[in-house]
A and B are shown apart, each in its own frame.
Chain A
Amino acid sequence: MQNYSIFNLARHALGGHRGWKPAWREATPKPRYKVIIVGGGGHGLATAYYLAKVHGIRDVAVLEKGWIGGGNTGRNTTIVRSNYLWDASAALYEKSLQLWEGLSQDINYNVMFSQRGVLNLGHNLQDMRDIRRRVNANQLNGVDGEVLDTAGVKRLVPFINTSPDIRYPVLGASWQPRAGIARHDAVAWGYARAADSLGVDIIENCEVTGVRRDNGKVTGVETTRGVIEADRVGVVVAGHAGVLAEMAGFRLPIESHPLQALVSEPLKPILDTVVMSNAIHVYVSQSDKGELVIGAGVDSYTGYGQRGSFQTMEHFLSALIELYPIFSRLRMLRHWGGIVDTAPDASPIISSTPVDGLFFNVGWGTGGFKATPGSGWVFAHTLATGTPHEINAPFSLERFHSGALVDEHGAAAVAH
Chain B
Amino acid sequence: MGRLWMNTVPQRWHIDMLMITCPWCGPRDESEFTYGGEANIERPTDPEALDDAAWADYLFMRSNPKGWHEEQWCHAHGCRRWFKAERHTVSYAIRRTWPMDEESS
Q: Once bound together, how far apart are the Cα atoms of A321 and B69, in whole Å?
A: 36
A-side contacts of B31, CB under 8 Å:
311
Q: How far is the CB of A75 from chain B (nearest CB, A)?
A: 17
Q: Is the interface of B mostly helix, strand, loop or mixed?
A: mixed
- Does B89 lie within 8 Å of A304, measured CB to CB? yes
- Does B53 lie within 8 Å of A251, measured CB to CB? no
- Does B92 lie within 8 Å of A305, measured CB to CB? yes
The verdict on A242 contacting B62 (CB below 8 Å), with A310-B16, A310-B17 known, is: yes
Whether, in the assembled complex, A302 has its beta carbon less than 8 Å from a beta carbon of chain B, the answer is yes
- Does B1 lie within 8 Å of A317, measured CB to CB? yes
B-side contacts of A335, CB under 8 Å:
9
Neighbour of B8 across the interface among A242, A254, A303, A332, CB < 8 A: A332
Q: How far is the CB of A126 from chain B (nearest CB, A)?
A: 23
Q: How far is the CB of A176 from chain B (nearest CB, A)?
A: 31
What sequence of 0s and 1s flags, for each residue 211-255 of chain A, a beta carbon within 8 Å of any chain B beta carbon?
000000000000000000000000000001111001000011111
- Does B65 lie within 8 Å of A246, measured CB to CB? yes
Q: How far is the CB of B82 from chain A (nearest CB, A)?
A: 15
- Using a Cβ–Cβ cut-off of 8 Å, how many residues does chain B contribute to the interface with A? 37
B-side contacts of A314, CB under 8 Å:
1, 5
Whether, in the assembled complex, B4 has its beta carbon less than 8 Å from a beta carbon of chain A, the answer is yes
The total of Cβ contacts below 8 Å across the A-B interface reads: 95
A-side contacts of B8, CB under 8 Å:
331-332
- Does A300 lie within 8 Å of B60, measured CB to CB? no
The verdict on A251 contacting B63 (CB below 8 Å), with A301-B71, A303-B89 known, is: yes
- Does A254 lie within 8 Å of B56, measured CB to CB? no
Docked complex: A278-335 residues within 8 A CB-CB of B = 300-305, 307, 309-311, 313-314, 317-318, 321, 328-329, 331-332, 335
- Using a Cβ–Cβ cut-off of 8 Å, how many residues does chain A contribute to the interface with B? 36
Whether, in the assembled complex, B105 has its beta carbon less than 8 Å from a beta carbon of chain A, the answer is no
Whether, in the assembled complex, B45 has its beta carbon less than 8 Å from a beta carbon of chain A, the answer is no
- Does B4 lie within 8 Å of A328, measured CB to CB? yes
B-side contacts of A210, CB under 8 Å:
none
- Does B18 lie within 8 Å of A240, measured CB to CB? no
B-side contacts of A401, CB under 8 Å:
52-53, 55-56
- Does A304 lie within 8 Å of B35, measured CB to CB? no
Neighbour of A309 across the interface among B1, B30, B89, CB < 8 A: B30
What sequence of 0s and 1s flags, for each residue 1-20 of chain B, a beta carbon within 8 Å of any chain A beta carbon?
10011011100011011100
The verdict on A301 contacting B17 (CB below 8 Å), with A242-B65, A251-B63, A321-B4 known, is: no
- Does B61 lie within 8 Å of A302, measured CB to CB? no
Whether, in the assembled complex, A402 has its beta carbon less than 8 Å from a beta carbon of chain B, the answer is yes
Q: Once bound together, how far apart are the Cα atoms of A246 and B89, in whole Å?
A: 16
Q: Once bound together, how far apart are the Cα atoms of A332 and B7, in whole Å?
A: 9
Q: Once bound together, how far apart are the Cα atoms of A321 and B4, in whole Å?
A: 10
Neighbour of A318 across the interface among B1, B55, B57, CB < 8 A: B1
What sequence of 0s and 1s flags, for each residue 42-84 of chain B, a beta carbon within 8 Å of any chain A beta carbon?
0000000000110111011111111001010000000000000
Most B Cβ at <10 Å: residue of A243, A252, A301, A311: A301
Q: Once bound together, how far apart are the Cα atoms of A322 and B49, in whole Å?
A: 53
- Does B62 lie within 8 Å of A331, measured CB to CB? no
Whether, in the assembled complex, A256 has its beta carbon less than 8 Å from a beta carbon of chain B, the answer is yes
- Does A252 lie within 8 Å of B5, measured CB to CB? no
- Does A253 lie within 8 Å of B91, measured CB to CB? no
Q: How far is the CB of A400 from chain B (nearest CB, A)?
A: 5
Whether, in the assembled complex, B40 has its beta carbon less than 8 Å from a beta carbon of chain A, the answer is no
A-side contacts of B104, CB under 8 Å:
none
A-side contacts of B16, CB under 8 Å:
307, 309-310
4 closest A-B pairs by beta carbon, nearest first, are: A242-B64, A253-B60, A251-B61, A300-B35
Pairs A–B under 8 Å by Cβ, sample size 12: A240-B66, A243-B64, A255-B62, A304-B89, A309-B16, A309-B18, A310-B16, A317-B4, A321-B1, A321-B4, A332-B8, A401-B56
Chain A contact residues, CB within 8 Å of chain B = 240-243, 246, 251-256, 300-305, 307, 309-311, 313-314, 317-318, 321, 328-329, 331-332, 335, 344, 400-403
